[in-house]
Amino acid sequence: MTMAARAVDVAEQAVALLDKIGVDKALYTGGEMASYSPVTGEQLAALKPDTQEAASAKIDKAARAFETWRLVPAPKRGELVRLLGEELRAVKTELGRLVSIEAGKIPSEGLGEVQEMIDICDFAVGLSRQLYGLTIATERPGHRMMETWHPLGVVGVISAFNFPVAVWAWNAALALVCGNAVVWKPSEKTPLTALASQAILQRAIARFGDAPNGLSEVLIGDRAVGAVLVDHPKVPVVSATGSTRMGRDVGPRLARRFARAILELGGNNAGIVCPSADLDMALRAIAFGAMGTAGQRCTTLRRLFVHESVYDQLVPRLKKAYANVSVGNPLESTALVGPLIDKLAFDNMQKALGEAKAHGGVVSGGERVALPYDKAYYAKPALVELPSQIGPVLEETFAPILYVMKYNDFDQVLEDHNAVGAGLSSSIFTLDLREAERFLSADGSDCGIANVNIGTSGAEIGGAFGGEKETGGGRESGSDAWKAYMRRATNTINYSRALPLAQGVSFEIE
Ligand code: NAD
């Protein structure tokens, strides 16, 4: 097959999938915003970005929809999300494939992302009958005190390219059962999967029957359009997923108008391999965590500390796995590693590797893999052995680079583990109870996710997802993350004939 034929195939496949999913062609043709596939580097579509006025009008429309939706009983709102789950199940193959085309994920990861959407829908349906408030003991006789959770308003969602659909679903499924409207600004690198997700939700809305118009809106465009969402006074909460750089801009802007921020930012995740570790298990977990999704997960394993007593057993095997890993077109091969999102990602990877060498790093891999697509960037995952944690190791480079360092003291390795700006995910490989528990304790890992004997990536939706420090502190998905999408009212009801004041205060008027 020729190079040109392959490129056309990818664009044609995308159009066929969009058609099957039911996306109006007018939304992705004839516009000035090009979208590309990292698989071949070819253009897929030409979208019409929203002007600032158009974006603002969509937000206003969602705010009007909220006024009706908040009055629908929560279990009934859950019915809409149940239908969304059904619609997603019906097009799982198509949407998963579209994710592979637009974000470059291997098929099982493209499908896995859609499965995550389905899982959060199931979770949210159950949640729609469990938006519990507390009843609290009051100090005053004949009184009752309780908490009520109310819908909040328009939930703004800003998402990154690397989870082009799941992150929206995490937010949208919860926001909708909580009684909110949703306005989504997807990554400008992955707008087609967003249009597809919106079409799927619209189908669920049509089946639901009487949901208000404007309940879910999508804004197409770059960060300038995202800024409209961030600054809009009718958006009381913005859930923003992306780089720490983005969070440094978005966080203060939201704070200025006292809006809530759910920030899900960069990670610089580490693993520790202890003397007692099951090395076979650690090897597999490290390989998936560091090379999976071509190193483009927020939870990708980027730093590995290996105890000196097992270093020579583990690291040569790891290097072998790196040398043998298959890199290739995720649509036409069984390769485990697909492309980087674009040239900038490849250039950043090369820059970090250059800096690592300058700091004494010994690099295996990292070179561009020759495939017959000039405009696509495939790279061999890189393993870099370093004497200590310096230079590029301290920052997230969104590419498959694993920095490997030796350690000999557990206290010191915990300190090194926590000595970076980000605080998303972490893991320890050990069979020693003391080490495992210490890692999970108050003076252990400082991350939002801390695992034992599993890798840093591949979280389930049932737990709250997010991280500390420069990762932004936000939580999405499971556990009680829903509380960020609602407002809490504390209600005190006096059913007595007296008016006692709290704290024994006396205020008797004549
Ligand atoms: P990015 O920061 O370049 O863009 C993310 C989104 O933010 C895009 O939609 C973009 O248009 C928007 N944006 C950027 N600047 C903005 C601004 N000033 N105002 C409003 N919107 C703005 O990130 P990316 O390259 O798409 O994704 C990779 C990054 O995302 C990595 O750092 C990764 O770790 C992070 N990420 C974090 C999580 C998490 O849950 N913590 C999940 C996925 C990705």
**Per-residue pLDDT tens digits for 255-264:** 999 999 999 9
* Residue having the nearest C-alpha atom to atom 30 of ligand 1: 242
Which of 52, 113, 158 should be mutated for ligand 1, with most atoms under 8 A from CB? 158
Gap from CA of 265 to ligand 1 centroid (Å): 7
* Residue having the nearest C-alpha atom to atom 9 of ligand 1: 187
Q: What is the pLDDT of residue 333?
A: 86
Q: Which atom of ligand 1 is nearest to the CA of 158?
A: 9
Gap from CA of 304 to ligand 1 centroid (Å): 25
Gap from CA of 245 to ligand 1 centroid (Å): 8
Which of 222, 246, 250 should be mutated for ligand 1, with most atoms under 8 A from CB? 246
Gap from CA of 186 to ligand 1 centroid (Å): 9
Q: What φ, ψ does residue 202 adopt, rounded to 5°?
A: -65, -35
Residue 380 has pLDDT above 80, yes or no: yes
In tens, the pLDDT along 180-197 reads 999 999 999 999 999 999
* Annotated domain spans of the chain: 3-264+480-489, 269-465
Spatial CB neighbours of 14, under 8 Å, sequence gap ≥ 6: 37, 44, 45, 98, 101, 102, 192
Q: What is the pLDDT of residue 314?
A: 98
Question: Is the Cβ–Cβ distance between 322 and 295 less than 8 Å?
Answer: no
Q: How confident is the model at residue 510 (pLDDT cuts 50, 70, 90)?
A: confident
Question: Is the Cβ–Cβ distance between 11 and 37 less than 8 Å?
Answer: yes
Note if 264 is an active site residue.
Answer: yes
Residue 148 has pLDDT above 50, yes or no: yes
Q: What is the pLDDT of residue 2?
A: 43
Q: Residue 452's Cα: distance from chain center in Å?
A: 21
* Residue having the nearest C-alpha atom to atom 22 of ligand 1: 223
pTM: 0.97
Q: Which atom of ligand 1 is nearest to the CA of 476?
A: 40
Question: Is the Cβ–Cβ distance between 52 and 229 less than 8 Å?
Answer: no
CATH fold, domain 3-264+480-489, is Aldehyde Dehydrogenase; Chain A, domain 1 (3.40.605)
DSSP helix/strand/coil, 337: strand
Which of 223, 302, 342, 457 should be mutated for ligand 1, with most atoms under 8 A from CB? 223
Gap from CA of 285 to ligand 1 centroid (Å): 26
Can you tell me the mean pLDDT for 441-459? 97
Gap from CA of 80 to ligand 1 centroid (Å): 28
Q: What φ, ψ does residue 239 adopt, rounded to 5°?
A: -100, 110
Q: How confident is the model at residue 502 (pLDDT cuts 50, 70, 90)?
A: very high
Count CB neighbours of 468 within 10 A: 17
Q: Which atom of ligand 1 is nearest to the CA of 396?
A: 32
For residue 503, list its beta bridge partners.
none
Helix count and strand count (H, E) for the chain:
14, 21
Average pLDDT in the chain: 96
Q: What is the pLDDT of residue 5?
A: 44
pLDDT > 90 in the chain, percent: 97
Q: What is the pLDDT of residue 7?
A: 52
Q: What is the pLDDT of residue 304?
A: 98
Q: Which atom of ligand 1 is nearest to the CA of 264?
A: 41
In tens, the pLDDT along 88-116 reads 999 999 999 999 999 999 999 999 999 99
Q: Which atom of ligand 1 is nearest to the CA of 300?
A: 34
pLDDT > 70 in the chain, percent: 98
Gap from CA of 243 to ligand 1 centroid (Å): 4
Element (H, E) at 76: helix 74-90
* Residue having the nearest C-alpha atom to atom 12 of ligand 1: 223
Q: Which atom of ligand 1 is nearest to the CA of 341?
A: 25
Considering 79, 264, 435, 476, which one is annotated as catalytic?
A: 264
Question: Is the Cβ–Cβ distance between 331 and 296 less than 8 Å?
Answer: no
Question: Is the Cβ–Cβ distance between 216 and 181 less than 8 Å?
Answer: yes
Gap from CA of 266 to ligand 1 centroid (Å): 8
* Residue having the nearest C-alpha atom to atom 43 of ligand 1: 298
Can you tell me the mean pLDDT for 378-396? 97
Q: Which atom of ligand 1 is nearest to the CA of 471?
A: 41
Domain 269-465's class? alpha beta
Gap from CA of 159 to ligand 1 centroid (Å): 6
Nearest by Cα to 26 from 223, 227, 220, 222: 220
User: Measuring from each residue's beta carbon to the nearest atom of ligand 1, which residues come in under 6 Å?
Assistant: 158-163, 185, 187-188, 222-223, 226-227, 230, 241-243, 246, 249-250, 264-267, 298, 396, 398, 424, 471
* Residue having the nearest C-alpha atom to atom 24 of ligand 1: 160
Give the range among 3-7, 109-113, 137-141, 412-416 with minimum mean pLDDT: 3-7
Work out the burial of residue 451: count CB atoms within 10 Å of its CB; fewer than 13 is exposed, 13-18 middle, 19 or more buried.
Answer: buried
Residue 62 has pLDDT above 50, yes or no: yes
In tens, the pLDDT along 397-417 reads 999 999 999 999 999 999 999
Q: Which atom of ligand 1 is nearest to the CA of 245?
A: 2
d(CA 12, CA 27): 16
Which of 235, 241, 398 should be mutated for ligand 1, with most atoms under 8 A from CB? 241
Distances (CA, A) of 83 to 80, 116, 272, 315: 5, 16, 43, 48
Q: How confident is the model at residue 6 (pLDDT cuts 50, 70, 90)?
A: low
In tens, the pLDDT along 306-334 reads 999 999 999 999 999 999 999 999 999 89
Gap from CA of 149 to ligand 1 centroid (Å): 30
Residue predicted with more confidence, 485 or 333: 485
Which of 243, 299, 347, 425 should be mutated for ligand 1, with most atoms under 8 A from CB? 243
Edge to edge, the sheet with strand 135-136 lists: 135-136, 143-151, 486-494
Q: What is the pLDDT of residue 1?
A: 42
